[in-house]
Amino acid sequence: MGLKASQSSGRRPFIYAGALLWLMMTPVHADEAQPERAKDLRYGWALYEYHQGNAFEALTQLAVARERGGIKGHGDHPALVEGGLMLSWGMTREASRLFTQLLGADGAGSNLSPDVRNQAWFYLGKVFYLEGNQALARENLNRVDCEILAEADHDLFREWIYLRSRLVMMSARPDDEPELASLREQLDETDIWSLYLRYNSAVSALDAADGAAAEEALKKLIAILDQSIDSVEPDAEREGLLGRARLSLAGLYLRDNQFEAALEVLGAMPLTGVFADQALFDYAVAAAGQGRPERALDALDTLANRELFLPWRQQVPFARAYVLEQMNAPQRALPAFKKAADHYEARIRELDNIRDRLNEENLMAQLEFSRDSDGILTDSYGRLRVQPLDSGMAEVLASETFQQALAELNELYRMQSFIAERQSRFESFRIMLETREQQRQIRIAETRRALETQQADQWQQLHEDFTDRISSALEDEDAGFLDDAPKYYQPGIIPQAPLKPS
């Protein structure tokens, strides 16, 4: 497996957060200025959810907008944003279909600018690469116009060369060698991407059982790094790669029993750093193999004084006792073996206890998450920014499988929170409707009581009778009706009005 971006991330791919933001900030048309604000309210809502870190809600808003007639005034840009959001959620197949439909198989099926199309294909190819799908990664990366990409973003162009080169290296086809050489020529020798390619070439040579080629590649890499690292302001990434290269070269020498060469390489490594402990142990192995047990014991004693929480370090107590035995010091070797046995027994009991009480709650309690006002922060590849409170969790936390599970668990928690929030809103709406219904019933009852107090039914009946009597008197020209009129009159209800015969 190669280093840098070549690390596989299983079934859940990740995309640079900055890539999606870039796609969202680019102009809609090649010759059209970028709008300062959303022209469509629904699109503005989706963008707001995205900038709040709510990718699921943003996708939901875009889907709702599409069902209600689509977003107006932004061309194909909302679809491109939706594809980027799909990538960030691991929906690579859906994103691929959307991009292909949007941009066309040749990348010319949209009025989006060439820069945007290029970056869309680049990030889609990169996600498939991280997912381990070499065929789709190659297909999408091959759609990128390298000249346009180099002019628009040279950093992405360098990474594109690295990804293309790694795909060629992984294909292991002899006819791909000219293509690989052509790609590597476009990178400076001291470029960090070129250095990673050198290291991965050495790994590929080892996989092919070509130890000589691997040794030559590692030596060349170490020489370049030694010359390119600034002693005043050292680059941590280059220093880490240098340590990794030296450790790999020493391991190659140890495999071939070249103990003197291994000691020379390991002796140049600092006692601090990421690979210091592994270098100390390999140094002890090389010294013991060369017949210098005293030097091996010094390295093991230094290592034994450090916390032995990594699995491979558990062999240190036994190795120390073994070296003492080889030194013909049985008085020191016997207690060392006993101490090693006690250490392993205690470690087994400790691991059994940890296993028995291990659950999600106390596991999460051992992790410290980096947060801001929007929630848990993630790195460029979508992994959560988290540090272990217990150093024993460091190796587990560093594993890709654990990182994927942790990220997916966090997404499930966010979705659970989102659903709970929506349910809470629906419940509030239901309570609001019930309250309004109760108020309506109260007002109806009050109105009925008021009408009953005013004897509305009696008034209506009397009014109808009086109207009929008037109509009849008018038809019969009965002037005597006036003498009977007072019995139809109810003070306060029917107004007095003089009646005149027709």
pLDDT tens digits for 166-196? 998 888 676 777 888 888 889 888 889 999 9
Which backbone phi and psi does 266 adopt, to 5 degrees? -70, -30
Q: What confidence category does residue 253 fall into, taking pLDDT thresholds of 50, 70 and 90?
A: very high
- Does residue 408 contact residue 12 with C-beta atoms inside 8 Å? yes
pLDDT at 489 over 70: no
Q: What confidence category does residue 220 fall into, taking pLDDT thresholds of 50, 70 and 90?
A: very high
pLDDT tens digits for 446-468? 887 777 776 666 777 777 877 87
- Which pLDDT score is estimated for 39? 62
- Which pLDDT score is estimated for 246? 92
- Which pLDDT score is estimated for 35? 45
State the angle between helix axes of 154-171 and 177-184 in degrees (0 to 180), rounded to the nearest 10: 160
In sequence order, which ranges of 3-133 are alpha helices (DSSP H)? 17-25, 41-51, 55-67, 77-88, 92-103, 114-131
- Which pLDDT score is estimated for 117? 77
Q: What confidence category does residue 161 fall into, taking pLDDT thresholds of 50, 70 and 90?
A: very high
Tokens at 62, concatenated:
């875009």
Name which of 9-18, 69-78, 252-261 the model is least confident about: 9-18
Which backbone phi and psi does 376 adopt, to 5 degrees? -75, 135
The listed range with the strongest mean pLDDT (194-198, 207-211, 436-440) is 194-198
- Which pLDDT score is estimated for 235? 79
What's the average model confidence in pLDDT over 388-392?
68
Mean pLDDT computed over every residue of the chain: 77
The percent of residues above 70 in pLDDT, for the chain, comes to 77
* Residues 21, 33: Cα–Cα separation, whole Å: 17
Q: What confidence category does residue 388 fall into, taking pLDDT thresholds of 50, 70 and 90?
A: confident
H/E element, 71 = none
* Residues 39, 41: Cα–Cα separation, whole Å: 7
Q: What confidence category does residue 500 fall into, taking pLDDT thresholds of 50, 70 and 90?
A: very low
- Which pLDDT score is estimated for 29? 39
pLDDT at 162 over 90: yes
* Residues 372, 20: Cα–Cα separation, whole Å: 20
Q: When comparing pLDDT for 273 and 243, which is higher? A: 243
Helix (H) and strand (E) counts in the chain: 23, 4
- Which pLDDT score is estimated for 199? 93
What's the average model confidence in pLDDT over 229-239?
75
pLDDT tens digits for 272-325? 777 888 888 898 889 888 888 888 888 888 888 877 666 677 888 888 888 888
- Which pLDDT score is estimated for 481? 63
- Which pLDDT score is estimated for 323? 87
Nearest residue to 237 via CA among 403, 4, 397 = 4
- DSSP per residue, 287-300: HHHTT-HHHHHHHH
pLDDT tens digits for 406-417? 877 877 887 788
The percent of residues above 90 in pLDDT, for the chain, comes to 10
- Which pLDDT score is estimated for 430? 85
Tokens at 346, concatenated:
């205690």
- Which pLDDT score is estimated for 5? 45
